[in-house]
């Protein structure tokens, strides 16, 4: 059996990335002064020409000056800390960049410049670059693999050799922490970090301790584990495939803010990602059938066509509250739901407070601020709107399920999960 080496692990990772749809480039070949240079300076971490081309491609109706303004804003993202800059960058990448330009009639118009095409992942530019050297101040560091989405560095992979007793997943994580301190510019637009020794792999968010880096245990989501795939292969094929990564970027990255100025970045785990994707699919199916006034004959927890979506089972400590938050954030932006009203029912006041706090801290993902109903009368008043809103209310039902989400779209009436 051939012994594992760090370079061999790197080659395998690049091969898997290429197989799922990434382009691959060698860092030294696109370095400054090289014939194929894509960086004018060692300090540059954004591939500016790729970013420019992506903005032009994704916004064909906008004038050049508007796109240049958007690019300037993406190149100069401000914030008091790296994590704050990362949150500001995330908002621009997901929501688009607001710019102003003067139209032909002389009026100043506001426009939203798209940075990523979330509906058509294949329209984006995905590039994996190995051995990327970055200089910032007096620090010079070389990252094993950097993942670029439309010229923006959204992922960093740090690899270690499992045959070396000193080269562990923890040491790979420590290396990434050092990079964040010494070359922070590389992480301003970061979405996900990955550490691996070629066999095991863990993914985690910026500024998080090693305990928050978790394995990605499935590729397609229909079974946990794969006897023929290493942890690194599962993470690459299961999370970093372009279609999944853009979905993950938009709907499964959370910046918690308790109002004190302290920000905590969290990422969905593999079980949360796939549970929410299935729940959303079932929700849209149920709403479509309800709107059409028919049933497909399937029984999802009740009689056909009764608008029940289903039940998600979790073990203790597996992140039930965050799963519900990710689901709510995903469903509120679905056009088919027509600005739904979401009612969250719990069986205890303390559980209601706990879940409400989670949702309130995740209001960026929800794109609105949730409200807590103080009584049944208050709940009726809150629901006396045509659509929209997220409302919490403890329930005295004897139902053994402790958390229930009820959804009302403007046309379909209530559905539940």
* Domain 6-52+120-267 listed as CATH 3.30.70.20: no
For the chain, the structural domain boundaries read 6-52+120-267, 270-416
pLDDT band at 224 (very low <50, low <70, confident <90, very high): low
Residues 111, 62: Cα–Cα separation, whole Å: 8
226 pLDDT higher than 80: no
The DSSP bridge pattern shows strands 403-409 and 341-346 to be: antiparallel
Instruction: Name the least confident of 30-39, 127-136, 280-289, 383-392.
Output: 383-392
Q: What is the pTM of this model?
A: 0.90
Helical residues (DSSP H) of 38-154, grouped into ranges: 48-58, 64-75, 82-95
Average pLDDT over residues 379-408: 70
407 pLDDT higher than 90: no
Find tokens 């061999």 and name the residue.
Answer: 8
> pLDDT tens digits, residue range 89-99?
999 999 999 99
Residues 366, 364: Cα–Cα separation, whole Å: 5
49 pLDDT higher than 70: yes
pLDDT at 399: 47
Of 71-85, 360-374, 393-407, which one has max mean pLDDT? 71-85
> pLDDT tens digits, residue range 337-365?
888 888 888 776 666 688 888 999 998 89
pLDDT band at 417 (very low <50, low <70, confident <90, very high): very low
Instruction: Name the least confident of 109-123, 287-301, 352-366.
Output: 287-301
pLDDT at 218: 93
pLDDT at 31: 97
Find tokens 């600005």 and name the residue.
Answer: 339
pLDDT band at 375 (very low <50, low <70, confident <90, very high): confident
Average pLDDT over residues 299-313: 62
Task: Give the rounded distance of the alpha carbon of 269 from its chain centre.
Answer: 11
pLDDT at 393: 80
How many percent of the chain have pLDDT more than 70?
A: 87
Average pLDDT over residues 18-28: 97
pLDDT band at 395 (very low <50, low <70, confident <90, very high): low
CB contact at 8 A, 346 and 395: yes
Closest by CA position to 131, among listed 48, 206, 52, 34: 34
pLDDT at 412: 46
Residues 33, 40: Cα–Cα separation, whole Å: 7
pLDDT at 400: 46
292 pLDDT higher than 80: no
The DSSP bridge pattern shows strands 253-257 and 263-267 to be: antiparallel
């Amino acid at each position: 059996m051939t012994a594992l080496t760090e370079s061999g692990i790197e080659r395998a990772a690049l091969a898997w990335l290429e197989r799922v749809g990434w382009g691959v480039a060698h860092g030294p070949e696109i370095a400054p002064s090289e014939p194929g240079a894509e960086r004018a300076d060692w300090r540059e971490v954004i591939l500016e020409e790729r970013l420019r081309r992506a903005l032009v491609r994704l916004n064909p109706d906008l004038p050049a000056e508007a796109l240049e303004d958007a690019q300037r804003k993406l190149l100069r993202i401000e914030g008091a800390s790296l994590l704050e800059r990362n949150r500001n960058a995330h908002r621009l990448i997901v929501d688009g960049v607001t710019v102003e330009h003067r139209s032909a009639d002389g009026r100043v118009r506001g426009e939203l410049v798209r940075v990523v095409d979330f509906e058509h992942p294949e329209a984006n530019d995905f590039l994996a670059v190995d051995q990327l050297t970055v200089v910032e101040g007096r620090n010079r560091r070389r990252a094993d693999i950097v993942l670029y989405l439309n010229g923006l560095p959204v992922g960093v992979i740090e690899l270690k050799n499992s045959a070396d007793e000193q080269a562990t997943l923890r040491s790979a994580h420590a290396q990434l922490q050092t990079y964040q301190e010494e070359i922070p510019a590389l992480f301003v637009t970061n979405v996900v970090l990955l550490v691996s020794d070629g066999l095991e792999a863990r993914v985690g968010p910026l500024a998080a301790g090693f305990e928050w880096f978790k394995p990605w245990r499935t590729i397609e989501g229909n079974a946990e584990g794969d006897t023929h795939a290493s942890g690194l292969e599962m993470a690459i094929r299961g999370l970093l495939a372009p279609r999944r990564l853009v979905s993950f970027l938009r709907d499964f990255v959370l910046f918690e803010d308790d109002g004190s100025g302290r920000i905590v970045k969290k990422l969905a785990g593999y079980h949360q990602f796939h549970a929410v994707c299935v729940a959303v699919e079932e929700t849209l199916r149920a709403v479509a059938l309800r709107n059409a006034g028919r049933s497909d004959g399937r029984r999802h927890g009740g009689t056909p066509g009764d608008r029940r979506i289903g039940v998600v089972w979790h073990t203790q400590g597996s992140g039930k509250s965050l799963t519900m938050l990710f689901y709510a954030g995903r469903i509120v932006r679905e056009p088919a739901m027509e600005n739904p009203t979401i009612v969250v029912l719990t069986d205890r006041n303390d559980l209601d407070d706990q879940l409400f706090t989670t949702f309130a801290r995740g209001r960026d993902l929800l794109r609105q601020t949730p409200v807590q109903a103080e009584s049944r009368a208050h709940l009726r008043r809150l629901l006396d709107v045509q659509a929209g809103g997220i409302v919490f209310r403890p329930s005295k039902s004897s139902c053994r399920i402790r958390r229930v989400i009820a959804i009302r779209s403007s046309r379909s009436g209530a559905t539940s999960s």
